[in-house]
């Protein structure tokens, strides 16, 4: 009940809901076993950036692959991040190399993961200049680039996974599901997730908080054990919740992403994903209070500020988050 702590929590929650980042100082949950070493790009993590461009004519920018294994096929501009880059710098470099264009990202559209060691960031972007690459400029990066009607893309495509992303971009342009969201440049040494884990009953929202040091939104580190890899990044969320709640009578749902933090400079290759999660009773009955917290490390904080509460409820009801697949 310290009013100062409550103000800090409201401020932190408002920042995260606004797509802002918050520094990561320590983790509230870590995988059992080895202490976690800072992650390194190209050693234990691979981040990929991908851009969807849609012009006024509803055309999509595609590039023709030069790599031996998929030469001649078409794909969205994409590639692996290099050490020392920010996510946006990586996106701009890939688009320049593969399509010849300068660009700026408008928003993150989706995040895709195969466990913490492979994560792809998909952006809606717009061209700001440069000259479209023609077959005369073919090189090891790509053979050429071109704009194609969204409803009749060239064949063969390198993979079908981009069709869904092109649709996602078209839907977003028509009606934005979530606010514009760009990565925040903040250092992080691990792949981790900050949870906005909510329990809702009759227009009242509680958010799970960690106690260590100052009260804060809890952070869970992703592990690289085969089990955590296989189960994907949601394993780290379940691990943290398991440490303080009895999960067998609860339904936990990961809604998606509220924010993304990464720096890439000074060997800070980690990322922090700010995630919106719901906790509910499987058989709600008359339960109007959140489930009991075990142990001393966590507590439910009741969101009293009306503006904050309505923001949270709206984002929950409309699933107004970046999907994580």
Residue 9 is predicted with a pLDDT of: 94
* Average pLDDT across the chain, whole number: 95
Average pLDDT of span 26-41: 90
Average pLDDT of span 77-87: 97
Q: Distance (Å, rounded) from C-alpha 223 to C-alpha 115? A: 9
Q: Distance (Å, rounded) from C-alpha 157 to C-alpha 143? A: 14
Query: Would you list the domain boundaries of the chain?
Result: 3-40+181-316, 46-174
Average pLDDT of span 39-52: 96
Residue 2 is predicted with a pLDDT of: 61
| Confidence bin at 202 (pLDDT 50/70/90) | confident
Name the fold adopted by 46-174: Nucleoside Triphosphate Pyrophosphohydrolase (3.90.79)
Give residues with Cβ within 8 angstroms of 131, minimum separation 6.
100, 101
CATH code for the structural domain at 3-40+181-316: 3.90.79
Same CATH fold, 46-174 and 3-40+181-316? yes
Angle between helix axes 306-317 and 3-17 (nearest 10 degrees) is 40
Radius of gyration of the chain (CA): 21
Class of residue 213 by CB neighbours under 10 A (exposed 0-12, middle 13-18, buried 19+)? exposed
**Direct distance between the N- and C-terminal alpha carbons of the chain, in angstroms, rounded to an integer:** 38
Q: Distance (Å, rounded) from C-alpha 111 to C-alpha 49? A: 10
Place of tokens 């950036």: 49
Average pLDDT of span 203-229: 92
Give residues with Cβ within 8 angstroms of 199, minimum separation 6.
205, 206, 208, 278, 279, 280, 290, 291, 300
- Residue 1 pLDDT > 80: no
> How many helices (DSSP H) and strands (DSSP E) are in the chain?
6, 13
């Amino acid at each position: 009940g310290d009013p100062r702590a409550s103000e800090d929590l409201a401020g932190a929650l408002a920042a995260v809901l606004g797509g802002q980042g918050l520094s990561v100082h320590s983790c509230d949950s870590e995988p059992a076993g080895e202490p976690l070493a800072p992650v390194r790009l190209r050693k234990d993590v691979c981040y990929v950036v991908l851009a969807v461009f849609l012009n006024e004519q509803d055309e999509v920018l595609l590039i023709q692959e030069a790599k031996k294994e998929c030469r001649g096929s078409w794909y969205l501009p994409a590639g692996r991040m290099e050490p020392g880059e920010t996510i946006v710098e990586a996106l701009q470099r890939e688009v320049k190399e593969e399509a010849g264009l300068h660009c700026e990202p408008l928003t993150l559209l989706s995040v895709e993961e195969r466990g913490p060691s492979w994560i792809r960031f998909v952006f809606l972007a717009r061209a700001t200049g440069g000259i479209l690459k023609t077959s005369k400029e073919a090189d090891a990066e790509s053979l050429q680039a071109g704009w194609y009607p969204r409803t009749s893309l060239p064949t063969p495509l390198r993979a079908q996974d981009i069709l869904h992303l092109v649709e996602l971009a078209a839907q977003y342009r028509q009606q934005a599901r979530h606010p514009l969201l760009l990565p925040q440049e903040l250092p992080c040494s691990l792949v981790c997730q900050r949870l906005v884990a909510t329990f809702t009953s009759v227009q009242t929202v509680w958010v799970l908080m960690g106690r260590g040091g100052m009260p804060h939104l809890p952070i869970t580190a992703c592990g690289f054990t085969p089990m955590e890899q296989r189960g994907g990044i949601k394993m780290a969320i379940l691990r943290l919740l398991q440490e303080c709640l009895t999960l067998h009578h609860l339904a936990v749902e990961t809604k998606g992403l509220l924010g993304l933090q990464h720096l890439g400079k000074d060997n800070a290759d980690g990322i922090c994903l700010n995630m919106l999660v719901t906790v509910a009773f499987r058989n709600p009955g008359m339960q109007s209070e959140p489930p009991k917290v075990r142990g001393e490390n966590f507590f439910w904080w009741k969101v009293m500020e009306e503006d904050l509460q309505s923001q949270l409820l709206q984002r929950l009801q409309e699933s107004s988050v970046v999907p994580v697949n």
